[in-house]
Structure 1
Amino acid sequence: MTSRRDLLKLSALAAATAAMPSLAWAASQSGKVGKAAKPLNILILGGTGFTGPFQVAYALERGHKVTLFNRGKRPSPEWPGEVEQLHGDRNTGDLKSLEGRKWDVCIDNPTSLPFWVRDAGKALKGNIGHYLFISTISVYADGSKPGISEGDALAPYKGKDAMAETQESLRADIEGLYGPLKALSEAEAHKQFGERVTIVRPGYIVGPRDETDRFTYWPHRVAQGGEVLVPGDGKDPVQVIDGRDLGEWMIRLAEARTYGVFNAVGPKDLLPMDAMLQACAKATGGQPTYTHVTPEFLEAQKVEELPIWVSAKSGPYAGYGQVSNARAVAAGLTYRPLDTTITDLMAWFRSQPAERQAKLRAGISREKETELLKAWHAGNG
């Protein structure tokens, strides 16, 4: 569901994010965090994007030593402890600052191209005890069926030489290849680091610091009240995971040396669309009315801007609201209440500059929504 063009655009948006306010630091800690049994020396590739800062904050609270490697293009948050910063550029293969250094764990957050994993493997060869890779549920070849599990077939790359082609086309639009390239990156991780690899496949990541506004659209719209257009009958399940839950769990996976592949989707139990909207209303105090419209109506109106929701009845992504998270839950993935995620997300969003809040980056405008509702009511009495 995400193209290389989308990825580049979202990366550019994230690059403009200001340093994390103290509110988000406080929100990242749902309670007192105890110290880990054994302090680790952790290398995080990236670390200043969406989930990285939550990993850093939690790791420091747990007593670990943290080193970040990135290009140094984004403003660094005010970390709650000492963090070592190394600079380089994986686009150009500049990983010299990693050579000759040893870490217990490497967490690779931003990689979507297999040659990035290859180059990291070469630079870190023999010096990493455990490699954790953030992948995506987009790696699955068939997203249409419910209950997608870690053993299901992955999307194939249909080019001739992914390493060469993706490196040459790094700044081009590699449309439709996000999933296959992530799948190749997973395979490269095993090639470089053997069995000491953890693959984490999230779906939609939400919460404070989410620059995409894909989930934010819904609590923001519900808070405004009035008649809200809702896709489907309200029973279609949706899956979202708080970036803090994801980031903190990855640190715990590192502490436990947990290897394997895990679908990091949430919440723990089935979340129908209407239940998600009810949580939005409860958290924001909004008092809207809801008008459910059919997928067929949206298709006829050429509406493609309603985020998070997918019809569970048909389509290539019909299973995206029902991906199995059983393995991840068994491996210790826990979830904040959805109300908490929504409350903290909206507090963060409302702390952003007025121009940032004025136009959301996902969803439909109020004007478009009004037009669609008028057309729906005209056709349905």
Structure 2
Amino acid sequence: MSIERRDVLKLGALAAAVTLAGAGRAQTPGAAPGETRNATRKLSILILGGTGLTGPHQVAYALSRGHEVTIFNRGRKQREWPGAVEQLLGDRDLNDYKSLAAEVAKGRRWDICIDNPSSVPHWIRDAAAVLKGHVGGYVMVSSLSAYAESATPGDDETAALAPFDGDPLKETMASLRADMAKFAGLKAATEAETLKHFGDAATIVRPGLIVGPGDETDRFTYWPMRLAKGGDVLCPGDGRDPVRYIDSRDLGEWMVRLAEAGTTGAFNAFGPDEALDMAGLLYGIRASTTAGARLHWVPTEFLMAQEVSPWGDMPVWVPGQGETAGFHRRSNAKAVAAQLTFRSLADTVAATRAWFAAQPEERRNAPLRAGITPEREAAVLAAWTQARPTEEH
């Protein structure tokens, strides 16, 4: 069973974003990941969104470095901030920018705008109609899934982006949610719309899988929680497939530093800056528990025959061959040169577990939102044991 192009797009759609290793690389000269200190110049920062996965880390980090922060969103998620944060309300689905337009009418200007949630081009067009000329720079969060293909290892930011069949400006978030196969083409079109309106003042950030504390999708959380339960664990492939991801804290903090430096251009934003594979990831996570989990590596071909899906049933994992050979092998050299840094795996795992443990009991006791179910895991392991009775554990 091969992985079809549509499946690759779905993987990317879910990834619309855990870094590890790299402990010891400086965040800013002489700083460590997560360290806070005043920036060399104070910025006024407008964050579109701000209360999702990455936004809260941007807000907290920007405040810690002495910046003024304004967030613009629907106001559905209220948070307590470690400092003064101005909130403006509006609904981009409805092209409701009245609160921002009122500020602009007063002569308001921001040094930088960070656009976290835009996945359809009309969101950029409509925001630009209000903000163009009133922000010094525009940082747009795209995705590694914006690329046309994922088969070529080592591709960098100059690789071709995905095409879109039709008029992308007519697409809405509702139409995207109804057909996530559109995700890659729409992200690429959203990048193009950003460049159309903001040109050389635009920064395009293409994250990989975004994970860590606050990730409600459980795309990474599955593994720390599953290995903490112990027992026989279904693991994908032979352990040698590469892994790339980004801790939401590293991503959010780095975007603030990009704004401080006035850095523009396109960047692949993921880690680590050293090679990592599924075995390194899962054995590393297992080392943080005492549950005695037994890892069973099952070949990709067998998993495909059993209809065990990459990314969904086996989170983080994408086969490192064929059409997805380059999915976790793109170059992040440009972002690393621009001071993207990475927390350790131990840090990401501990923070993810602590965040999950603090969730309401109903959430903690509910099935995880990603990963294979216990029943299917047991069935696949039983089938594999029957097929390979001499498997070494």
| DSSP-derived class of the 1:195 partner | helix
| DSSP-derived class of the 2:180 partner | coil
Instruction: Give 1:150-229 correspondences, 5 Å limit.
Output: 150-159=157-166, 161-164=167-170, 166-167=171-172, 170=175, 173-229=178-234
Shift of 1:155: 0.5
**Equivalent residue, structure 2, for 1:20:** none
Supply the distance in 2 between the matched residues of 1:376 and 1:193 (Cα, whole angstroms). 54
**Equivalent residue, structure 2, for 1:326:** 333
**Equivalent residue, structure 2, for 1:303:** 308
Shift of 1:169: 5.3
Retained in 1: the 8 A contact 2:93–2:173? no
Taking structure 2 as the reference length, what is the TM-score of the superposition?
Answer: 0.87
Retained in 1: the 8 A contact 2:33–2:342? no
Q: Of 92, 95, 100, which aligns to 2:94?
A: 92
Supply the distance in 1 between the matched residues of 2:343 and 2:177 (Cα, whole angstroms). 38
Amino acid across the alignment from 1:343: A
Supply the distance in 1 between the matched residues of 2:46 and 2:173 (Cα, whole angstroms). 28
| DSSP-derived class of the 1:189 partner | helix
Give aligned pairs, total: 357
Q: Encode CA deviations 1:322-364: one digit per residue, 9 max, x unaligned.
A: 1211000000100011111001101111111222122100001
1:134 matches 2:136: no
**Equivalent residue, structure 1, for 2:20:** none
Q: Encode CA deviations 1:39-60: one digit per residue, 9 max, x unaligned.
A: 0000000000000000000000
Q: Encode CA deviations 1:280-303: one digit per residue, 9 max, x unaligned.
A: 112233321111111111111111
1:56 matches 2:59: yes
Distance change (3 Å), C-alpha of 1:371 and 1:247: same
After superposing the two structures, state which structure 1 stretch, 147-156 or 318-327, moved more: 318-327
Distance change (3 Å), C-alpha of 1:194 and 1:171: closer
Amino acid across the alignment from 2:55: G
| DSSP-derived class of the 1:370 partner | helix
Supply the distance in 1 between the matched residues of 2:155 and 2:217 (Cα, whole angstroms). 25
Instruction: Give 1:35-46 correspondences, 5 Å limit.
Output: 35-46=38-49
**Equivalent residue, structure 2, for 1:106:** 113
Distance change (3 Å), C-alpha of 1:321 and 1:5: closer
Q: Encode CA deviations 1:19-51: one digit per residue, 9 max, x unaligned.
A: xxxxxxxxxx95541100110000000000000
Amino acid across the alignment from 1:338: L
Retained in 1: the 8 A contact 2:141–2:206? yes
Distance change (3 Å), C-alpha of 1:30 and 1:141: closer
Q: Of 46, 54, 74, which aligns to 1:71?
A: 74
Amino acid across the alignment from 1:113: V
Amino acid across the alignment from 1:336: R
Shift of 1:225: 1.1
Supply the distance in 1 between the matched residues of 2:34 and 2:165 (Cα, whole angstroms). 47
Shift of 1:6: 6.6
RMSD of aligned Cα (Å): 1.9
| DSSP-derived class of the 1:378 partner | helix
**Equivalent residue, structure 2, for 1:360:** 368
Retained in 2: the 8 A contact 1:70–1:86? yes
Supply the distance in 2 between the matched residues of 1:33 and 1:333 (Cα, whole angstroms). 15
Distance change (3 Å), C-alpha of 1:323 and 1:31: closer
| DSSP-derived class of the 1:291 partner | strand
Retained in 2: the 8 A contact 1:132–1:200? yes
Supply the distance in 1 between the matched residues of 2:279 and 2:79 (Cα, whole angstroms). 36
1:375 matches 2:383: yes
Q: Of 239, 253, 267, which aligns to 1:248?
A: 253
| Structure 2 unmatched runs, 5+ | 1-7, 17-31
Supply the distance in 1 between the matched residues of 2:34 and 2:206 (Cα, whole angstroms). 26
Retained in 1: the 8 A contact 2:219–2:315? yes
Shift of 1:245: 0.2
Shift of 1:318: 2.5
Shift of 1:5: 12
Q: How much identity, in percent, do the aligned residues show?
A: 52
Amino acid across the alignment from 2:38: K
Retained in 2: the 8 A contact 1:4–1:175? no
Retained in 2: the 8 A contact 1:150–1:261? yes
| DSSP-derived class of the 2:351 partner | helix
Taking structure 1 as the reference length, what is the TM-score of the superposition?
Answer: 0.90
Supply the distance in 2 between the matched residues of 1:169 and 1:368 (Cα, whole angstroms). 32
Retained in 2: the 8 A contact 1:4–1:176? no
Q: Of 286, 290, 293, which aligns to 1:281?
A: 286
Q: Encode CA deviations 1:210-267: one digit per residue, 9 max, x unaligned.
A: 1111111111111111111111001111111110000000000000000000000111
